[in-house]
Amino acid sequence: MTGWERFADSFLNARVAAEYLPKIVEGFGLTVVLALCIIAAGLAAGLALAVVRSLGVRPLNWLIIFAVDLFRALPPLVVIALFYFGLPAAGLSLSGFAAAWLALSLVLMAFSEEIFWAGITAVPKGQWEAARSTGLGFLPTLRLVVLPQALRITIPPLTNRTIAITKNTALASVVAVPEILGAAQAGVSFGFNPTPLTLGAAAYLVLFLPVVVLGRWIETRFAWKR
Amino acid sequence: MAAIVRAHGIHKHFGALHVLRGVDLEVAERELVFVIGPSGSGKSTLLRCLNRLEEPSGGRIEVDGIDMLDRRTDINRARQRIGMVFQSFNLYPHMTALGNVALALRQVLKLPRGEAEGRARAALERVGLADRAGHYPGQLSGGQQQRVAIARAVALEPRVMLFDEPTSALDPELVGGVLQAMRELRESGMTMVVVSHEMGFARAAADRVVFMDHGLVVEQGAPEAVFGAPREERTRAFIRQIDRH
Ligand SMILES: Nc1ncnc2c1ncn2[C@@H]1O[C@H](COP(=O)(O)OP(=O)(O)O)[C@@H](O)[C@H]1O
Ligand SMILES: [Mg+2]
């Protein structure tokens, strides 16, 4: 066997691929569901925290900054492991899926809060003053004048950060969630052949390449004339 | 005549900085009061206290009979009666000219969309920009943006309009259009407080000129009196200085 044949037999083995493809497809579905749940919860919580922070209540803001820094400092894998292995000791048992979802949602919340907050503070003070001077209240001003402008500036960093954190769904394999990587690893151990990993990589590409392209499109779409 | 604005003994501190040191200002209905003074004398702060964009440290402010500093006053309702135009226009960049003017009509006056847009169009027409209704601020000149900002404030039919250096950020050739819009507003009987260095406009349109320095009203009177025969040395020095420009 030449080197290439050996490589192909290991990583591009058609028989193994056919056998484990269904598992990878299932894992793909699970990754998509997990990712969507993380994005929905993480971004909603991040935006909510940024809005609360803009109210300017000191003790509340310290609390927010503490939580945000905590989840930005901890490696996501540590947070997942803590929720999965640590919480049962506290009498609260989470499934691997729930632990991964909660952990990564909190991480995305932390990073997106910072990005939303930076966006809100980047909107000139004059925008607030113009709206408030016409009798608009704080929340309508935030919602109709400030956030639309803030969101436009936040979309590029937010897209990048969201993609980066969503890729961490692979970490859920550590807590026995059969998402793409989990399914691929299972395939490798049962089939004694790493081809499922190739399938896994392909699955990640199929999933994230369009997301990256979409991110690009959103970036240009949201650039507007000043 | 009834006073629309009654401000008495207004003080404002920014930390250790004592920016307004007991300012009195009364503005009668249909009066145009022109406020002049060196940079940093507290003109903007005074205007911003009138609609409580700044919280005064002391004093009393009544606008159209509403106690602006009373905790029980609904500040958002009170501000509907006080239009403000800023030096830097502050149009909402993500909305068209029409959207800028219609926003408060819909959100504050709760007008239905069609009515709000009709009124917004009428306000844009008053400042000569009916044909720019669909343009975004970035597609308008500075002068046009400022006229949209005037329309945005006027559309709410306020009882008094505050202008904070409305032409200072404009190229000279664009100043005329904004002053024209202000002149027409004045002729329609609007009560106005104008902070500006446009002395020609002051001479032509102001009922009263107020000169401020170091957080105090130093001198006030008819434009001919303050510009032609100022009583205070500080006023004389200031007017000499701006007349050179
Ligand atoms: N938000 C603020 N914080 C601290 N100092 C301020 C603030 N706004 C204005 N000042 C200060 O108050 C003084 C008066 O400012 P301002 O009212 O803008 O003067 P003018 O409009 O007459 O030029 C200046 O010394 C200015 O630096
Ligand atoms: Mg000023």
pLDDT digits (tens, 9 = 90+) for B135-168: 999 999 999 999 999 999 999 999 999 999 999 9
Residues lying with their CB under 5 A of ligand 2, a single-atom ion: B 44
Bigger pLDDT: B42 vs A218? B42
Amino acid A225: pLDDT: 44
- Give DSSP secondary structure letters for B39-74: TTSSHHHHHHHHTTSS--SEEEEEETTEETT-TTS-
Amino acid B245: pLDDT: 60
Domain-embedded: residue A80: yes
| Residue B242 clears pLDDT 90, i.e. is over it | no
Long-range contacts of A31-37 (CB under 8 A, 24+ apart): A31/A169, A31/A179, A31/A180, A31/A203, A31/A207, A32/A207, A34/A97, A34/A100, A34/A101, A34/A104, A34/A169, A34/A172, A34/A177, A34/A179, A35/A166, A35/A169, A35/A207, A37/A101, A37/A105
Nearest Cα residue to A32 out of A139, A169, A196, A143: A169
| Pairing of the two strands B3-14 and B58-63 | antiparallel
- Across the A/B interface, how many CB contacts are shorter than 8 Å? 74
**B239 Cα–ligand 2 center, Å:** 17
Chain B contact set for A135 (CB, 8 A): 76-80, 104, 108, 156
Chain B contact set for A226 (CB, 8 A): 93, 137-138
Q: Report if pTM > 0.90.
A: no
Q: In chain A, how many domains are there? A: 1
Averaged pLDDT for residues B95-123 = 97
Averaged pLDDT for residues B214-237 = 94
Segments of chain A with pLDDT less than 50: 225-226
Amino acid A226: pLDDT: 42
Is A132–B94 a contact, with Cβ atoms under 8 angstroms apart? no
| Residue B69 clears pLDDT 90, i.e. is over it | yes
**Contact (CB, 8 A) for A170 and A179:** yes
The domain in which residue A117 lies consists of 21-222
Amino acid A6: pLDDT: 86
Instruction: Report which ligand 1 atom has the smallest distance to the Cα of B195.
Output: 21
pLDDT digits (tens, 9 = 90+) for B166-175: 999 999 999 9
**Contact (CB, 8 A) for A54 and A124:** no
Q: Which of residues 74-133 of B touch A (CB under 8 A)?
A: 76-80, 82-84, 86, 88, 90-94, 103-104, 107-108
Domain-embedded: residue A106: yes
Option in B77, B90, B138 nearest A126 (CB) = B90
**Which residues lie with the beta carbon below 6 Å from any ligand 1 atom?**
B 14, 17, 19, 37, 39-45
We report the CATH number of the domain holding residue A204 as 1.10.3720.10
Residues in chain A: 226
Chain B contact set for A140 (CB, 8 A): 107
| Mean pLDDT taken over chain B | 95
Is A134–B79 a contact, with Cβ atoms under 8 angstroms apart? yes
Is A126–B51 a contact, with Cβ atoms under 8 angstroms apart? no
Domain-embedded: residue A10: no
Domain-embedded: residue A182: yes
Amino acid A9: pLDDT: 85
pLDDT digits (tens, 9 = 90+) for A61-109: 999 999 999 999 999 999 999 999 988 888 888 899 999 999 999 999 9
Q: What is the ipTM of this complex?
A: 0.94
